[in-house]
Amino acid sequence: MQESQKYIDVIVKLNRLTKEGKLSWIRETLISPRMTETYKTRYQDKYFLIYQPPYVQVPSSEIVTLYSSSKAILEIVDEENNTIFTFPRLTVINDLFDAIITMNEEVDSYLDDFLKAEL
C-alpha cells in the first residue's frame, strides 16, 4: 500500500469512528500560538491532535488581509502534546476537522431541533 493511501485510510477511519460516536475528541485549550481550535483524542497509548493554523495578517498593497491556509493539521502526539508524527496535508483532514467540530458543538442535533420546530 502506498504511504499516501495509508494516511488517507487512517484519516477516513478516524472520521467514520468520530461520526459513529465511537471516538470522542476533547477541545484543548490553546497549546501554542501556532494552533487554534485544537482537539485531541486517545487511541491506545498515543493521541491524535488536530488543529487549524491561526489567521495571519498579510499586507496586500495598502490593504491588510487575513489569511489562513484553512487546512487542518493532524498529528500523532504524546501525553504532553509533543509531536511524534505530522500527517501530510491532505484534504480529508479538513473533512475530519469539520466532523469533529460538528460532533463537539452538537451542531447536528441543533439543526434537527430547528427543522422540527414550528414557526
* pLDDT, tens digit only, all 119 positions of the chain: 687 899 999 999 999 999 999 999 998 876 666 667 899 999 888 899 999 887 655 555 555 444 445 589 999 999 888 999 999 999 999 999 999 988 877 777 777 888 888 87
Q: What is the pLDDT of residue 1?
A: 63
Q: Closest Cα partner for 55 from 32, 75, 36, 39? A: 36
pTM given for the model = 0.75
Do the Cβ atoms of 103 and 94 come closer than 8 Å?
Answer: no
Q: What is the pLDDT of residue 102?
A: 85
Does residue 117 form part of some domain?
no
Does residue 118 form part of some domain?
no
Cα–Cα distances (Å) from 2 to 6, 8, 114, in that order, read 6, 10, 44
Q: What is the pLDDT of residue 35?
A: 64
* The three cell numbers locating residue 29: 485549550
Does residue 48 form part of some domain?
yes
Does residue 14 form part of some domain?
yes
Number of domain units in the chain: 1
Secondary structure letter of residue 57 according to DSSP: E
Instruction: Indicate the angle between helix axes 91-104 and 107-116, nearest 10 degrees.
Output: 60
Q: What is the pLDDT of residue 68?
A: 47
Q: What is the pLDDT of residue 67?
A: 47
User: Which range marks the domain in which residue 74 is found?
Assistant: 3-112
